[in-house]
Chains A and B, each alone.
Chain A
Amino acid sequence: MNLTLKIWRQPDAASAGAMHTYQLADVSEDMSFLEMLDVLNEQLNDQGEEPIAFDSDCREGICGTCGLMINGEAHGPEVTTTCQLHMRSFSDGETITIEPWRSDAFPVIKDLVVDRSAFDRIIQQGGYISVNTGSAPEAHSVPVPKDDADRAFNVATCISCGACVAACPNGSASLFMGAKVTHLGLLPQGQPERDERVVNMVAQHDHEGFGGCTNIGACTAACPKEIPLDVISQLNKDLRTAIRNGH
């Protein structure tokens, strides 16, 4: 198929960016979206134009590195990561618009690459269970009901890609935070730090410039791992309990 690609190009964080238009011919429908960009980059390199910078690593939908706004949708038209999106989801002659994640908390580094280190700083404020190496009790000493363990797993599958933030009109990272707070809060091991965790993570979230949640739900619709919206209810509930407990 032949495509027209409108792609955001920005030399660095300090410079202004703009949309550029490229033509790409003979695209195979078996290519992944990122392989299509690889082919475009080879073409640009041959023509003496610097290739377009974009992030990707595992290319199997699990590391969370890739993430593009494709025709205004985070990760494009399918419920998956950008690397697992294939060109058969598009049609011959189509114009595709490709932009980076847009959020104050995710500044653009170059072209389609953004800085998501704010996520790491939120985790640093309590997205863990404090247990030094070697001090753990025997694994079977604390049983965990299967339903809780399964649910904890379901929300622990968040890949930290940032699609929730990019999709949210408020630029909120509540789904990301809710997933972590719910995962650790469902487990007996997560209880001692539960109040402190949610208060500190939310404070860091606000400090980073992410917006507040107004229950729009665009985050969960864009989430490639289908993290459910109710983790945000859990986040709010935990926050309320923590404040009531004097945190």
Chain B
Amino acid sequence: MDMPDTVTSTEASASGSLDGDYDDAAGYYTPGAPLVDAKAPSGPIAERWQNRKFEARLVNPANRRKLDIIIVGTGLAGASAAATLGEAGYNVKTFCYQDSPRRAHSIAAQGGINAAKNYKEDGDSVHRLFYDTVKGGDYRSRESNVYRLAEVSTNIIDQCVAQGVPFAREYGGLLDNRSFGGVQVSRTFYARGQTGQQLLIGAYQALERQVSAGTVSMYARHEMLELVVVDGKARGIIARDMVTGEIQTHLADVVVLASGGYGNVFYLSTNAMGSNVTAAWRAHRKGAYMANPCYTQIHPTCIPVTGSHQSKLTLMSESLRNDGRIWVPKNQADCDKDPRDIPEEDRDYYLERIYPSFGNLVPRDIASRAAKYQCDDGRGVGPEVDGTRRGVYLDFADAIERLGRQAVETKYGNLFDMYARITGEDPYQVPMRIYPAVHYVMGGLWVDYDLQSTIPGLFVTGEANFSDHGANRLGASALMQGLADGYFVLPHTIRDYLADGPFERISEDHPAVVEARESVTSRIEHFLTVNGERSVDSYHRELGNIMWEYCGMERTETGLKKAIDLIRGLKEDFYRNVKVLGSAETLNQSLEKAGRVADFFELGELMCIDALNRRESCGGHFRGESQTEDGEALRHDEEYAYVSAWEWAGEDSIPILHKEDLVYTAIEMKQRSYK
């Protein structure tokens, strides 16, 4: 989770510009009307959130229990919202696909959570956290939203401490902070390497307290498979009870999606096995725009793939790069040798060579891309998978010699243990092997300042929305955003919408409900009756390879167009030739996966179209056609300082692109440079 996309870099206030009038994606989409955030607040940036909270209408406490809220997902963004809205007295129904709300994938976040407490008196402030976040996002996020995030960050820490979250403390009993991802202030609160787990347990316990109080009903092992839209408003969901197979209709006054990110479109990622896009994608098909879907964060220090059996990738903290030296053999012939037998002069410390001033501490995207180039060049190390060795060495021999084994153990002991457990190799003796992996997606459903999507009554929080991280996310900011949305933002903005409720009751035989149910049952029936040749996983793996190859660390026009063709072909084959056994009336994990993979196909195609349209390199997104003479990322503010919001136009139509211009009043746009 750590990351330094901005840090220690010098800046030039120039921005690249394009010579011609490019539209690589012409023919793949239809241009739509510009999109404007109707809830965008005005006035001095520091007053916008206070003003919005004041202007948002109130709901009388006596009326709250007459209002029904559905929340999908119980990670930080969902559980915190469910607890808070339950406490406020609304009638909340919460859904998760896991067997308990406490298992949502927020639990796996390691590093920490940022907050502008300035406990270290080192010059931090709300404005500095805001500034760092916008800059880290490479000027592709919305400034009002980011400012609000920084503003409420301090309340999050107070709330979590009161809940009993055991943050690290100093000997005086006060909270400890560390600097993260190289930022120059210490604003990161942490609970050893398990901050996400402890924050989620705090939110989960608050949620269970409301279950006990009767304000929240929990539906675990339930998966949302369709959104119910009546008269243009989100009014409920169709969910499948994953144990009995029952297809259920749940109606409400408002629906909140807190369903997480879609990194699993790449098959291999650091996401949980079940993480998926279905809830968000079904909403997209019903009218919610999908924003910046191609913005993906790739993390450079993950444990490499060992074979085609690989089911997921494991992240190791990026702090390892502070002391480890990254290298590959100079000669391809040395790639399968014991690295300890390769003499110093035959090693290429390529980051130190190419970037002498930053060396192994170059930003995430640079480190990731450089590793890919070495491996593509045939100089990767580790096991050969599909004909290529995908790994580079991260070597601690020098650090052990300089600092002593004891010091290295104190700093990195738990990471070394984790590495040894997974690979069976001892990193104190043999260099670690690392490779980049998909970790987080900045893209997501488009929301306005109130976190409401383009479907009235559908709100989206946490990683599932696009709003705060622009084209790249700072380390320790995902946890901050999830909890900010759920505890402190949504509960205020949703009341303005609910002030018009309760809305007219809907019966389960309303045509819109019947249509949504039929769409779910016919899809299930289709998957169970194809009886083809190939498993769902085999399609998912193939889709993931296409995405990783052409829509991963570096994208080009040719590659993206090829990927779109490949995805379309594979999707067609999937519907004709997939093999899903078992029945719809019991727990059926293949059936669950089939629905998710079907949606990943459509998302993957849209990601490629989005990447094709954005002929610039920004944040974690590198376009081969947009680089400086030195091969560095080149942003084009004149042409691309917009949010791409995509509208679904139907099964057989190309998507419609609406652009929301990004305007900065409180901050100046700068181009990053670090050489």
Contacts and interface: CB of A to CB of B under 8 A. Distances in A.
Interface of A: 11-12, 28-32, 34-36, 38-39, 42, 45-46, 48-51, 53, 55-60, 62-65, 80, 84, 86, 88, 109-110, 113, 115-117, 119-120, 123-125, 127-140, 142-146, 149-150, 152-153, 156-157, 159-160, 183-184, 187, 189-190
Nearest to A57: B272
Contacts of B208: 120, 123-124, 127-128
B424 A29 contact: yes
B212 interface: yes
Nearest to A37: B311
Interface in B558-596: 579, 581-582, 586-587, 589-590
Contact of A115 (B99, B103, B209): B99
Given A128-B206, A153-B191, A58 B272 contact: yes
Nearest to A145: B173
B179 interface: no
B108 A62 contact: yes
A116 B274 CA distance: 18
B589 A53 contact: yes
5 contacts: A45-B590, A60-B270, A123-B205, A153-B166, A184-B164
Nearest to A63: B103
A36 B98 CA distance: 22
A117 B158 contact: no
Interface string B100-113: 11110101100000
Contacts of B319: none
Nearest to B157: A139
A151 to B, nearest CB: 9
Nearest to B85: A133
Contacts of B166: 149-150, 152-153, 156, 183, 187
Given A45-B590, A129-B163, A116 B243 contact: no
B586 A128 contact: no
B273 A30 contact: no
Given A30-B306, A128-B205, 15 more contacts: A31-B309, A34-B311, A57-B98, A58-B107, A64-B103, A84-B421, A110-B587, A116-B99, A129-B163, A132-B84, A136-B162, A140-B174, A144-B169, A183-B164, A189-B162
A32 B220 CA distance: 27
A136 B164 contact: no
A132 B99 contact: no
Nearest to B311: A35
A12 B164 contact: no
Interface in B380-424: 383, 421-424
A38 B311 contact: yes
Contacts of B587: 12, 53, 109-110, 113
Contacts of A116: 99-100
Nearest to A149: B169
Sort A-B residue pairs by CB-CB distance and give the 8 closest, nearest first: A143-B173, A128-B205, A136-B162, A153-B166, A30-B306, A124-B212, A133-B84, A136-B158
The residue in A29, A31, A131 that gathers the most chain B C-beta atoms within 10 A of its C-beta is A131
B248 interface: no
A97 B260 CA distance: 36
Contacts of A138: 158
Contacts of B206: 128, 131, 133
B491 interface: yes
Contacts of B83: 133
Contacts of A57: 98, 103, 105, 272-274
A109 B307 CA distance: 32
Given A124-B208, A136-B159, A63 B84 contact: no
Interface in B629-646: none
Contacts of A30: 306-307, 383, 423-424
Interface string B188-222: 00011010011001001110110110000010100
B168 A149 contact: yes
A53 B155 CA distance: 42
Nearest to B421: A84
Contacts of B155: 134, 136
Contacts of B108: 58, 60, 62-63
B487 interface: yes
B345 interface: no
Contacts of A29: 424
A196 B78 CA distance: 28
B487 A110 contact: no
Contacts of A42: 535, 537-538
Contacts of B101: 120
Contacts of A45: 535, 579, 581, 590
B161 interface: yes
B87 A125 contact: no
Given A59-B273, A59-B311, A65-B103, A51 B590 contact: yes
B162 A137 contact: yes
A12 B243 CA distance: 9
B307 A51 contact: no
B107 A50 contact: no
Given A133-B488, A152-B166, A127 B174 contact: no
A84 B418 CA distance: 9
Nearest to A132: B87
Contacts of A149: 166-169, 173
Given A45-B590, A51-B589, A115-B99, A63 B272 contact: yes
Contacts of A55: 99
Interface in B81-127: 83-84, 87, 98-103, 105, 107-108, 117, 119
B140 to A, nearest CB: 29
A21 to B, nearest CB: 20
Contacts of B84: 132-133
Given A35-B311, A45-B590, A57-B98, A120 B218 contact: yes
B310 interface: yes
A38 B309 contact: yes
B650 interface: no
A88 B423 CA distance: 10
B525 to A, nearest CB: 17
A156 B582 CA distance: 39
B314 interface: yes
A29 B306 CA distance: 10
B162 A131 contact: yes
A84 B422 contact: yes
B377 interface: no
B194 A157 contact: yes
Contacts of A48: 581
B54 interface: no
Contacts of A143: 169, 172-174
A28 B209 contact: no
Contacts of A56: 273
Contacts of A150: 166, 169
A117 B173 contact: no
A84 B83 CA distance: 32
A189 B163 contact: yes
Interface string B478-509: 00000000011001000000000000000000
Interface string B296-315: 00000000001101111011
A28 B155 CA distance: 49
Nearest to A122: B208
Contacts of B218: 120
